């Protein structure tokens, strides 16, 4: 009966998504988001602002392609983006998988790997089917895109393009789609830290599908969707383009590679899951040390290396902008590693490997929204603070509040993401060595509004926290009262590896 | 015949083995065990979660010996396993009823 309800709800989900898409199809003519209309906007003068509506059907015949005048697909950029995509894949499979796996008990080691691997595959499939479309096309509202790119139907791999941050520079859409896929997948996989060692596998998969659809997609759309730089030809065109952009984008928030979209998003969901699932059996009484800090260390190395694709790849081009993101990902991260290790040495007496690994990850998280926006001083301050604050979040605050966030996703990713996001708003200021905010109409860096930027960042953080936390809560509630979410006592006793997967991690 | 069981510190295994060889004890069985007596455990720290680990790794040696060798065996083990610090271990002596060599069927003294 419970399985029937689960099946029906999943089918209803698809029907719902299809219904939303149907509504959007009616308004297709008004949307300049389609590649065809982008071509019009790029070549448009002031008179043509209203033209997209009429031009879309006519322009559809002349889909722009890399190499067309005004649509450059630089081979260096494309190479870099494909490389970055592979790097971000490495971050999840097996970077995050090993990072988390090492921290759980032997009997749950494989279940932790399975979470990362299975989530990656499931999200990858859904991303191509509907995820990319909903996140990265314009919808009838600033929260949810259209189904124009469902299954990438109607897109010619050789010609379909996606915008970068430079006018006239484009990427093959199929490459951009894959790049963003890896972000969606790792975000969902990160939540596993909050529900480790006690989430029933079937419920976990359903949770992941639903949260991906109703939390990740809207937040990604709200923060990152815009019509692209070529739509910003004049003040009027800019206003029109801005009205199509995601809700949080319209608030002026800056999130270079996903400090909020990935880390705050998954972090708050992890906390909600931890609270809804309850603590692991024996938590606080039975010793649960990591079964292999060695694995966690290996995972950390892969995460750091892969993160260069995550941050520097988010520049979407192989330019100096990517260069500063690359710089910060190395420098800022190292700062946080030192900060955490030093703090631990002073407070606890010994600096641990698990500690420096956690510091490194906290730094990576904090620099994520800031990578392409801040200078070295900004990176240093933001990441040093993240290293220290996350240390206390994970050691003191968690113990004080008593929740079982098994692998500290909330303490490192949510808190680190918030610190990074506020650091971005502070240090993007050119006065502190930041890049400032680019004005695509004036085609230069605009005047910087320090307080206004902080307010924008706060919009980003709060909307993400509320939306993601709320959706996670509702999904867990639904699952709790249908198929059940918590692994049985027997399953927890013998370990999820045997109970859910019929495997043992080590056979010696 | 006696079965001599000794719990010793792991790094003393080679010395004890050589000492027993020296007095004519040709075979021993070694098991890795953990335990504690008066030696204190240690504290491990994982991201703020402190674990006090009472159990310490030790090695258990079992040797079946002729009764005549008992005193020498005990002395050999005592001398070679001793470090002078708490946690050196203990020796237990059991009466051994029968010993059989599986390959040949020899029993008791011939099997040792």
Ranges under pLDDT 50 in chain B:
none
| Chain A residues with CB-CB distance to B53 below 8 A | 287
Confidence band for A156, pLDDT divided at 50, 70 and 90: confident
- Report the mean per-residue pLDDT for chain A: 89
Under 8 Å between Cβ of A260 and A369: yes
Give residue-wise pLDDT tens across range A239-298. Answer: 999 999 999 999 999 999 999 999 999 999 999 999 999 999 998 888 899 999 999 999
Residue of B nearest to A102 (CA): B46
Give residue-wise pLDDT tens across range A15-68. Answer: 554 444 444 333 333 333 333 334 333 343 434 333 444 444 444 445 567 766
At A63 the pLDDT is 57
pTM over cut 0.80? yes
Q: What is the mean pLDDT of residues A335-345?
A: 97
Nearest by CB to B46, which of A354, A398, A399?
A354
The encoded tokens of residue A368 equal 């994520």
Nearest by CB to A287, which of B45, B48, B51?
B51
**Pairwise CB contact (< 8 Å): B49 & A350:** no
At A1 the pLDDT is 63
A199 SS3 class: strand
The encoded tokens of residue A69 equal 């005048």
| Separation in Å, CA of B14 to nearest CA in chain A | 25
**Pairwise CB contact (< 8 Å): B48 & A352:** no
Q: What is the mean pLDDT of residues A306-330?
A: 97
Q: Is the pLDDT of residue A447 over 70?
A: yes
Q: What is the mean pLDDT of residues A142-162?
A: 92
**Pairwise CB contact (< 8 Å): B47 & A287:** no
The percentage of chain A sitting over the pLDDT mark of 90, rounded to a whole number, equals 80
**Pairwise CB contact (< 8 Å): B47 & A399:** no
Q: Is the pLDDT of residue A351 over 90?
A: yes
C-alpha to C-alpha distance for A112 and A108, rounded to whole angstroms: 6
Beta partners for A171?
A162
C-alpha to C-alpha distance for A478 and A322, rounded to whole angstroms: 42
Residues 6+ away with beta carbon under 8 Å from A154: none
Q: Does B55 contact chain A (CB < 8 Å)?
A: no
Going by their DSSP bridges, the two strands B89-95 and B42-46 should be labelled as unpaired
**Pairwise CB contact (< 8 Å): A352 & B51:** no
Q: Is the pLDDT of residue A198 over 80?
A: yes
Residues 6+ away with beta carbon under 8 Å from A153: none
**Pairwise CB contact (< 8 Å): A394 & B46:** no
Q: Is the pLDDT of residue A121 over 60?
A: yes
At A287 the pLDDT is 84
| Chain A residues with CB-CB distance to B47 below 8 A | 352, 354-355, 358, 394-395, 408
């Amino acid at each position: 009966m419970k399985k029937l309800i689960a099946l029906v709800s999943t089918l209803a989900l698809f029907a719902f998504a299809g219904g939303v898409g149907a509504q959007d199809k009616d308004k297709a003519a008004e949307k300049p988001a389609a590649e065809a209309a982008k071509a019009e906007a790029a070549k448009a003068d002031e008179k043509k602002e209203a033209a997209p509506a009429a031009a879309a059907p006519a322009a559809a015949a002349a889909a722009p392609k890399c190499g067309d005048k005004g649509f450059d697909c630089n081979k260096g950029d494309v190479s870099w983006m494909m490389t970055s995509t592979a790097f971000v894949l490495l971050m999840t499979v097996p970077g995050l998988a090993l990072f988390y796996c090492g921290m759980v008990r032997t009997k749950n080691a494989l279940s932790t790997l399975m979470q990362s691997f299975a989530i990656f595959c499931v999200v990858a499939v859904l991303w191509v089917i509907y995820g990319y479309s909903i996140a990265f096309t314009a919808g009838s509202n600033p929260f949810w895109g259209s189904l124009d790119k469902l299954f990438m139907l109607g897109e010619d791999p050789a010609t379909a393009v996606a915008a970068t941050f430079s006018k006239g520079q484009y990427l093959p859409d199929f490459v951009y789609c894959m790049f963003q896929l890896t972000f969606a997948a790792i975000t969902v996989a990160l939540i596993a830290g909050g529900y480790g060692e006690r989430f029933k596998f079937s419920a976990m998969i359903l949770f992941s599908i639903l949260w991906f659809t109703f939390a990740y997609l809207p937040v990604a759309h709200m923060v990152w969707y815009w019509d692209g730089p070529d739509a910003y030809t004049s003040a009027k065109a800019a206003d029109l383009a801005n009205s199509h952009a995601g809700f949080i984008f319209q608030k002026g928030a800056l999130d270079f590679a996903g400090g909020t979209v990935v880390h705050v998003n998954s972090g708050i969901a992890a906390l909600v899951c931890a609270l809804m699932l309850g603590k692991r059996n024996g938590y606080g009484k039975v010793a649960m040390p990591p079964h292999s800090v060695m694995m966690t260390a290996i995972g950390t190395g892969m995460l750091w290396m892969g993160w260069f694709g995550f941050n520097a790849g988010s520049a979407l081009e192989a330019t100096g902008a990517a260069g500063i993101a690359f710089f910060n990902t190395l420098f800022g991260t190292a700062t946080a590693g030192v900060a955490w290790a030093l703090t631990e040495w002073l407070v606890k007496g010994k600096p641990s490997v698990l500690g420096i690994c956690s510091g490194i990850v906290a730094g990576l998280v904090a620099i994520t929204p800031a990578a392409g926006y801040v200078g070295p001083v900004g990176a240093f301050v933001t990441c040093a603070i993240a290293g220290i604050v996350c240390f206390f979040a994970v050691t003191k605050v968690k113990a004080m509040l008593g929740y079982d966030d098994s692998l500290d996703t909330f303490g490192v990713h949510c808190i680190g993401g918030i610190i990074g996001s506020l650091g971005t708003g502070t240090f993007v200021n050119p006065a502190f060595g930041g890049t400032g905010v680019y004005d695509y109409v004036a085609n230069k860096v605009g005047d910087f509004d320090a307080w206004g930027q902080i307010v924008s960042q706060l919009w980003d953080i709060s909307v993400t926290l509320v939306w993601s936390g709320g959706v996670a809560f509702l999904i867990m509630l639904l699952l709790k009262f249908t198929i059940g979410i918590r692994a049985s006592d027997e399953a927890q006793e013998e370990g999820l590896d045997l109970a859910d997967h019929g495997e043992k991690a080590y056979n010696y | 015949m006696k079965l001599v069981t000794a719990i010793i510190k792991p790094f003393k295994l080679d010395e004890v083995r050589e000492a027993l060889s020296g007095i004519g004890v040709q075979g021993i069985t070694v098991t890795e065990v953990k335990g504690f007596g008066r030696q204190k455990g240690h504290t491990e720290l994982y991201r703020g979660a402190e674990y006090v680990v009472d159990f310490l790794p030790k090695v258990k040696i079992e040797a079946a010996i002729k009764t005549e060798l008992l005193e020498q065996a005990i002395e050999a083990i005592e001398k070679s396993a001793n470090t002078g610090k708490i946690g050196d271990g203990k020796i237990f002596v059991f009466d051994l009823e029968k010993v059989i060599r599986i390959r040949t069927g020899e029993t008791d003294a011939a099997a040792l």
